[in-house]
Amino acid sequence: MSRKIIVGAAQLGPIARSDSRRVVVGRLIELMREAKARGCDLVVYPELALTTFFPRWYFEAQDEVDTWFERELPGPDTQALFDEALRLSIGFYLGYAELTEQGGRVRHFNTSVLVGKRGELIGKYRKIHLPGHTENEAWRPFQHLEKRYFERGDLGFPAFQAKFNEHQGIFGMALCNDRRWPETYRVLGLQGVEMALIGYNTPLHYAQVPEHDHLQAFHNHLSLQAGAYQNGMWVVGVAKAGIEEGCDLLGQSCIVAPTGEIVSMCSTVEDELITESCNLDRCREIKENVFNFELHREPDTYRLIVETKGAIKPL
């Protein structure tokens, strides 16, 4: 069998603090048009793709923070992206900062959405593994205040059945730091996800452990490749890259096969599109063999691991 979907990973170069949403959306549309011209059914953008990575600054006034958030999607500045997707008949994944009201209070999330080729919302994900810190730490060369500006996601790791061409597949989403945690892929994998879409903004400098700076690219690919292989799924990891407002961001956006092999990778730190024809049926090579959960894991053993919170005790 062959259920092929052509996917475009649309890496973004730096976004200036002064760049308007309209300017950024224009760049997204150009990448979308290129993706369509190259036969793509789905295009994947990075985390917080509509703005610069604003958590690198400390803001005291909440009103100032809220200017970076979208109160509706599509909104006045993003409607053009949805309209173009409908015109081109192409789906997309988009990371953005979400401001919403729930239960009479305003909430803030680091969010991604999966949009169908008719412009319809297929699914939403809110980032669970928030990195960084909550207070201004002057010793850092730049801040990483995701814990201050966002709440932990409350939607779990859902799986979505979707069709971006004649073939139906099962898709999942995650954001940035989520990709480092094996639970992300395993929860998606246990739901049968065949392709995980993951946007990220990753600085090359890790302030807490700078001796690991040279490992940032290695750890990025290690996480994406291990998650793909151990769960038998395609993984599309898409970066914001380059020197953005003085912060050097990792690029190397890539598409990883269910075997864990990188089959396509960006070669610049600018706006760049890579594409791959991904056969979703290749997931079976892993799911039905080396990582066949039902065949190779006794149900009682798995229950024991869960009930003891991972501390496996002697029987």
Which residues are marked as active site? 47, 127, 176
Half-sphere exposure of 207 (CA within 13 A, CB side): 15
Question: H helices within the chain, ranges in order?
Answer: 21-37, 62-66, 79-88, 146-149, 182-189, 216-231, 284-285, 293-296, 299-307
Q: Quote the CA–CA distance of 250 and 253 in Å, as a whole number.
A: 9
Residue with tokens 């985390």: 47
> For residue 147, which of 129, 169, 124 has the smallest C-alpha distance?
129
Termini Cα distance of the chain: 43
The amino acid that residue 305 corresponds to is I
Q: Quote the CA–CA distance of 55 and 150 in Å, as a whole number.
A: 9
Q: Quote the CA–CA distance of 136 and 156 in Å, as a whole number.
A: 29
Kind of pairing between the strands at 91-102 and 42-44: parallel
Contact 161, 111 (CB under 8 A): no
Q: Quote the CA–CA distance of 231 and 227 in Å, as a whole number.
A: 6
Contacts of 294 (CB under 8 A, 6+ apart): none
Residues paired with residue 174 on neighbouring β-strands, in sequence order: 198
Q: How many CB atoms lie within 10 A of CB 106?
A: 12
Torsion angle, alpha carbons of 165, 166, 171, 176, to 10: -20
The conformation of residue 167, written as its DSSP 8-state character, comes to S
Helix (H, G, I), strand (E, B), or coil: what is residue 105? strand
